[in-house]
Copies of this chain bind each other. A is one copy, B any other.
């Protein structure tokens, strides 16, 4: 078995990855990233679409405010963005789809790569490899702590490798570069824009997730469906000593809601979760609180279970508001489905991975709970329309867990990922 990724490409991916890591951009702010991804793909010969041609703006969830979008645009301008491409991604429309039309007929195969970082302050301390090697994030309180810098670099490496091997390929290959996977906010906007409506095979991938370097999992079925909700209770302030009866207390409404939310009954069909992670209420010690804001999330082993928890949660929120005579506003700022990979594709992909020299252990199926993922939007759409879909894991030794301030992955897993994905393109579309 021959490694399909040469040293040059391997080094290129490391360079890209470190540049992206140093300029971490969180959900819908991937403007600098997109402005560099797009011209490279164009230079390779891909047909490109971006922004509103591959995203429905109104289907994005949890988009930052105009002020933040504008401020970040300026930051990108001053931090190495491609100034020709940057304006195309203004306002957080940072999705890109690159298409390679081969000369042979065949199926449509799509790969998804997510590009966003997290709102975490990277650890600037000895022993943290990105810091020691000078590529820790320059963007304060933003950090690639989940490996999407690696995913984007793998996407670019795959793009290069596919084009280098174009004559061996068949059908159509699409590379989807997606914003805002964190918080499960971005996929829906691209799916609703139709980017996978013609797709026969869909593959999403993730580095790490507890799987060590040298291992590969072809089908991960453990994603929980989830909904992320921002809630605001709006009451009326009054002086708590002087006129307690004139207030409408948003803080007590929120407290009542919190207790009832955690008390939503378990579902007999499988695991469910609910969490109110953040609550901020009130303005002064002696004022009846006029405002209480909560960040909460629901999860379910299946989309149906998550729907049950979410609908109970909405009843709780509305009821709590009514109890205390306050208003409540609920925004859905993220949502993902559960999705089962397609059996045949999982088995085929496992067999393909067995051919790769990078992996010493290949597993077809994993049911490890791996949180939530909005790749499930693509998977469900593709399967609905008759295609096959899977979510695979490329093992990578980690310095610390995902979302930790000292997260780092093993860069050697990037050529492994390109190798197996390139093999999948050859194999699946030539059958």
A residues lining the B interface (CB < 8 Å): 183, 224, 226, 228, 240-245, 247, 249, 251-252, 254-260, 262-263, 265-269, 271-273, 275-289, 292, 295-297, 299, 308, 312, 315-316, 318-325, 369, 371-372
Contacts and interface: CB of A to CB of B under 8 A. Distances in A.
A263 to B, nearest CB: 3
Contacts of A285: 183, 228, 275, 277-278, 295-297
Copies in the complex: 4
Given A280-B280, A284-B278, A319-B322, A266 B273 contact: yes
B273 A244 contact: yes
A409 to B, nearest CB: 19
Contacts of A224: 241
Given A251-B258, A251-B277, A259-B263, 5 more contacts: A240-B273, A256-B256, A275-B287, A279-B289, A319-B319
Contact of A259 (B256, B287, B299): B256
A252 B241 contact: no
A299 B242 CA distance: 11
A276 B253 CA distance: 12
B245 A268 contact: yes
A371 B249 CA distance: 20
Nearest to A320: B323
A276 B282 contact: yes
Contacts of A263: 252, 259, 262-263
A61 B309 CA distance: 36
A275 B255 contact: no
Nearest to A280: B280
B371 A241 contact: yes
A79 B166 CA distance: 72
A258 B297 CA distance: 22
A268 B276 CA distance: 17
A361 to B, nearest CB: 24
A281 B320 CA distance: 19
Given A275-B286, A284-B277, A260 B324 contact: yes
Residue with the highest number of chain B CB atoms closer than 10 Å, among A249, A316, A323:
A323
